[in-house]
Structure formats: structure tokens, C-alpha cells
Amino acid sequence: MAPQIYKGLKDVYLDTTTASFIDGQEGKLLYRGYNIHDLAEKSTFEEVVYLLLNGKLPTRRELSSFDATLRANRRIPDEVIQVLDLVKASHPMDALRTGISALSAFDPDVNDNSPEATLRKGIRLTAMGPTLVAAHHRLRQGLEPVAPNADLNHAGNFLYMLFGEMPDEETVKLLDVDFILHAEHGANASAFGARVTASTLSDLHSAVVTGVGVLKGPWHGGAAEEVMKMAEDIGQPENAEEYCRKILESGGRIMGFGHRVYKAEDPRARHLRERSKALGEKVGQPKWFQILTYVEENVMVPYRKKGIFVNVDFFAGSIYYLLGIPDDLFIPIFALGRIPGWTLQCLEQYKDNILIRPLLEYTGPMDLQYVPISQRR
Ligand code: CMC
């Protein structure tokens, strides 16, 4: 009898988790039980990382000590900067993948998969990730990397290392919220990839490298980069209809729409929509928001019946763009926010491990006769 195939593992529960809860019909997302709307409006990325990795909100003292650990772990070895310099022509997402891999050579806990060591490594990778991305961005422009500044929070320090100047408070808060919204999201493709790696009892660096590789694709984190390219191609709101129609009629997809789990609006999109609008108005470039909302409120309305709404990536790109961040850094920024989520998924995987190894139904020919190469035609 032919086996039941769950193509793309759609709707398959692979394990239990206490990391995040997603109700795709309601458009609800909780991290460790806390609603993403509360976290986006009231929390900070540092607090959310603590919450994810420790399962509870920190006291003031716990947060201050945790934040100090993050700040103390931002520097990356000179050798890793040299590696980034060697790959400076690559896409920043490839450089991040290479950088994380290179960091493993200098991590004292690299092959220790105990919960304590995995947590330490996850905190270090969370802290060092922005330094990798910013250093590569500087190097590819022929500039010296900027050393981390321990006076700044996680988001502020990243912007400082990227641009070499002190960021303003509003920009820091925007990026802080963006990091919060991207921190964790259940068994999404990159977290699943990270879990597969962890399930072989490979180490956290390898799992995070897997996560980065999986996230890069345009059907996952790559969508943010593609959305802004689309907005630039559209140019003016009045061109949106025809531009999207051509894509849709040829069987293409509009990036930043649709989600495997959400069949209502992605709750994370709300926060980015509001911020994209406000930022566009503030910097005198409301056009991008107008283009995007035209696509959302006109072109894609019929798709709502199929459960296709905007996802987290739709407005994110416009915010980065308006902050002067180049398109190809959009996915690495998503990855920086997601490192704690990948870490937590790996901690859960190690805790009650089983090798993740599904089956494939073979549909090729059977029992063919092997013909020696000299007799093949
Ligand atoms: N534009 C147009 N049609 C779409 C879209 C879209 N963005 N997304 C799905 N559809 C259609 C798809 O063509 C299919 O139509 P039909 O039933 O006629 O063949 C139907 O909806 C179901 O699509 P599916 O591929 O079976 O659904 P899925 O759950 O596997 O897809 C997805 C999820 C994210 C891959 C898909 O919605 C997509 O490709 N979206 C665009 C890329 C994107 O924005 N990715 C970011 C995802 S959210 C953040 C993240 O994870 O990084």
C-alpha cells in the first residue's frame, strides 16, 4: 500500500515546545506564553531573549546581569574579521553563515552540547552576530570594522557598528522592536533545519549555520529583500496593479504574502505596518508605504479568501530601507533577531532528543540491470 505522504510536512506536529504558541487562524503569537503585541510594545529585545532562553521574565537585577553578559560578548576574534575580509564580496547572509562557522573555531564550548554550554554559546552567538554583519558590511565598503560600544543596547550597538556613528533613540527602538518580532517562531523552516542538525547531536554553531542557510531563501527570510525590490520596481502606487497582475498571472507569488501557518494576518505585521507608515512620513518618503498598502488593500484582497495575508516580511524591508540599510542586509537582520529562537529550539531538541529522519517514498525504476561502461550506448 502506498504510504501517506505529508508533502512539505504540512500540518505535521514534530514534537512539543514551550517556546512559542501560534494560532494561525486567529493570527495569535505568544513567546513563552506572552503575547507578541505586549512584548513588541512594552519589552526590549534583551528582555525577550532572557524570556526565551530562561522561560520567565527577568527581574530588574536578572536583566541587568544578562544584558551585561551580552554586552561583554560582542567582540569577535581578529581571525574571524580576517575571514570576513576574505569573503567580503559575498552576500551578507553568506558572510554571516561563514562568520558563524569561523566563530566555532574560537568557542571554548564548541563541542559541548550540555544545556549550560548550549545556553552560553547561544548568548555568545546572539551577542556576536551583529558584530559579524556590521564588520562584513564595513569591510566590503573598504572601511575598518567599528568595535562594539558597551554603552549601547543590542540594537543601538548594531547600528553604531554598521554606520560608524551614534544612532538616534527612535531608530534604535525601531530596530529593537524588529528584533523582538523576529526572535522565535516555532517549527519554521530554519528552526526545523536547526533542530535536524541538533538531532544528530551536532553542535549549536552547526545548527545556527543550518538556520542561516535555510532562512536565506525567498520563501522564508529572503522575502523582505524581495518585497523592497518589488516596491522599487513598481516605483509609483499607480503601477502596482499591473506589476502584480503580471506576476500573479504567470503563476508567480507576491513576496511578503502568505504563510504556512497564518491563515489570518500575521500578528507581527501590524507593528511593522504602523512603523513603516510613521517612518515614511517622518523622512518625507511616504511613497513606499503607499505602494505597499496599495498592493495589500487592492491587488491582494481576493487572496484573503485563500488565507493569504501580509506576513512579517512585507513591511520590514521598507523600514530598513528608510533607515538607510542596504537591501542585502535585510535577511541578516532577520537572522540576528532569530538566533535566540534557534538556540531555544536546539535546547529543546537536545533535552528530549530523537534523530529527525523522515522517509521518502521511492518512485524511480527498480532492479535495473547494471551494464558495464564499455557496453553502454
Ligand atoms: N502570492 C500569491 N499566491 C500565493 C502566495 C503569494 N505570496 N503564497 C501562496 N500563494 C498561493 C499558492 O500559489 C497556492 O496557490 P494554488 O493553491 O492555486 O496552487 C496557494 O496559495 C497555497 O500555497 P502553498 O505554497 O501551498 O502554501 P504554503 O503554506 O506552502 O506557502 C509560503 C507558504 C510562505 C511559502 C508562501 O505563502 C509564499 O511563497 N509566500 C511568498 C514568500 C514569503 O513572503 N515568504 C515569507 C514567509 S513569512 C516569514 C518567514 O517565514 O520568513
Give the number of the atom of ligand 1 that is nearest the alpha carbon of residue 262: 29
Q: Where do you find CATH 1.10.230.10 in the chain?
A: 223-322
- CATH number, span 223-322: 1.10.230.10
What is the rounded CA–CA span in Å between residue 108 and residue 69? 16
Q: Is 377 in the pocket of ligand 1 (CB under 6 A)?
A: no
CATH top-level class for 20-218+337-351? mainly alpha
Give the number of the atom of ligand 1 that is nearest the alpha carbon of residue 266: 48
Q: Within its chain, how far is the Cα of 28 from the centroid?
A: 19
Q: C-alpha cell of 290?
A: 503607499
Q: What are phi and psi of 281, to 5 degrees?
A: -65, -40
Q: Where do you find CATH 1.10.580.10 in the chain?
A: 20-218+337-351
Q: Which residues of the chain have pLDDT under 50?
A: none
Residue nearest atom 1 in ligand 1 by C-alpha distance: 253
Q: Is 188 in the pocket of ligand 1 (CB under 6 A)?
A: yes
Active site residues: 220, 259, 313
pLDDT of residue 347: 98
* Local structure of 21: helix, strand or coil: strand
Helix (H) or strand (E) holding 29: strand 28-31
pLDDT of residue 1: 87
pLDDT of residue 156: 98
Burial of 29 (0-12, 13-18, 19+ CB in 10 A): buried
What is the rounded CA–CA span in Å between residue 312 and residue 139? 30
Give first-to-last CA distance, the chain, whole Å: 36
CA of 346 to the centre of ligand 1 (A): 27
CA of 219 to the centre of ligand 1 (A): 8
- Residue positions counted in the chain: 377
CA of 29 to the centre of ligand 1 (A): 19
Q: What is the pTM of this model?
A: 0.95
